Amino acid sequence: MTFPMPQIDPDLDLVLEREIDVPVELVWKVWTTPEHLVHWFVPKPWTVTACTIDLRPGGAFNTTMRSPEGEEFPGSGCYLDVVPNERLIFTDTLLPGFRPAPAPFFTAGLFLTPTDSGTRYKAIALHGDAAARQRHEEMGFHDGWGTVVGQMVDYIKAM
Amino acid sequence: MSKVQPDAPIAAQPAMIDGIFRALADPTRRDVLERLSDHPASVSELAAPHTMALPSFLEHLKILEGCGLVSSRKVGRVRTYSLAPDRLRLAEDWLGTQRRLWEGRLDRMDAYLLKLNKEESA
């Protein structure tokens, strides 16, 4: 079964696109394996102290982010669409097992396309209204998501 | 940035005023203050904990708390932020002082011009 592609609405959504010089298979691997994901998923000096990945629609995608001061922020969501090496869609609007989340915020998509030199990497964040989009942008979407792409590429090259 | 103690004397130190205006010069931080003016809120109410933008956002909260505009309290695993309105009053006082100064100057200029005018036509 194939799922529809999310349609980007510039008033509601945020997009980050990069050309990176690492292959799609490795990008997929570090996005979908907890022992790899913890090394790059949050901007340093923050760390990921716990990560659960159940890679199927409705399966858990949980991460706990830890601040440099030692405070922990658990986040929970689930996958919606999983097409290896191609696209990964997850959300925090549904908890694992499709239960509606108490504080829904966004749905994210990762789209990978092989290129001559590596991967075209596209990350999108879909929001329910313009206020949530703006809040995410002001929170630091481009800075945060951009920083971790760099960290991810460095991590893959050092693997 | 210097950390301002919550019980620091209310006599405004220049560094305090600097910190407050620096904190206010950012739309994300002003938005947080507006949202907290309604009621105190936890980090997860203010931000989504599952996005890579969270660390940048927490920096904004740290800056607000560092200059004393908000305070936070941790109960169990939840940290709740609330507005500390006294600190905002320092900025208001500073602006008020400037306003009174300029109003005074303009009033005196006004009176002087009226006097000149009277002398000229005399």
Cβ atoms < 10 Å from Cβ of A81? 18
**Could you tell me if residue A4 is inside a domain?**
no
ipTM of the complex: 0.84
Which amino acid would we find at residue B45? Answer: E
Residue B64: closest CA among B110, B103, B12, B22? B22
For the domain made up of B14-90, give the CATH fold: Arc Repressor Mutant, subunit A (1.10.10)
Q: Do B54 and A74 touch (CB under 8 A)?
A: no
Residue of B nearest to A104 (CA): B48
Residue B48 predicted with pLDDT over 90: no
**Could you tell me if residue A21 is inside a domain?**
yes
pTM of the full structure? 0.81
pLDDT tens-digit series, residues B71-80:
999 988 788 9
Residue of B nearest to A141 (CA): B53
Nearest CA distance, A86 vs chain B (angstrom): 21
Chain B residues touching A148 at Cβ < 8 A: 52
Cβ atoms < 10 Å from Cβ of A155? 18
pLDDT at B1: 47
**Could you tell me if residue A6 is inside a domain?**
no
DSSP string of A47-113, one letter each residue: EEEEEEE--STT-EEEEEEE-TTS-EEEEEEEEEEEETTTEEEEESSB-GGGPBPSS--EEEEEEEE
Chain B residues 47-76 with a CB less than 8 Å from chain A: 47-60
Residue A14 predicted with pLDDT over 80: yes
Cα-Cα-Cα-Cα torsion A35, A37, A39, A42, nearest 10 degrees, comes to -150
Q: Is the Cβ of B3 closer than 8 Å to some Cβ of chain A?
A: no
Nearest CA distance, B22 vs chain A (angstrom): 16
Report the residue from A67, A77, A145 with minimal CB separation from B53: A145
Residue B69 predicted with pLDDT over 80: yes
pLDDT tens-digit series, residues A93-144:
999 999 999 989 999 999 999 999 999 999 999 999 999 999 999 989 999 9
In angstroms, rounded to a whole number, what is the distance separating the alpha carbons of residues A100 and A103?
9
The total number of structural domains in chain A stands at 1
pLDDT tens-digit series, residues A56-91:
999 999 999 999 989 899 999 999 999 999 999 999
CATH number for the domain spanning A51: value is: 3.30.530.20
Residue of B nearest to A124 (CA): B51
Contacts for A66 with CB less than 8 Å, ≥ 6 apart:
A46, A47, A48, A49, A72, A73
Helix, strand or coil, per DSSP, at residue B86: helix
In angstroms, rounded to a whole number, what is the distance separating the alpha carbons of residues A34 and A47?
13
Q: Which residue has the higher pLDDT, B15 or A66?
A: A66
Q: What is the mean pLDDT of chain B?
A: 86
Domain coordinates of chain B in residue numbers?
14-90
Q: Is the Cβ of B79 closer than 8 Å to some Cβ of chain A?
A: yes
- The confidence band for A2, taking pLDDT boundaries of 50, 70 and 90, is confident
Domain encompassing residue A87: 14-158
- The confidence band for B17, taking pLDDT boundaries of 50, 70 and 90, is confident
Which of A46-50, A89-93, A138-142, B11-15 bottoms out in mean pLDDT, i.e. has the lowest?
B11-15
In angstroms, rounded to a whole number, what is the distance separating the alpha carbons of residues B59 and B28?
11
Helices (H), chain B: 14-24, 27-36, 43-46, 54-66, 85-121
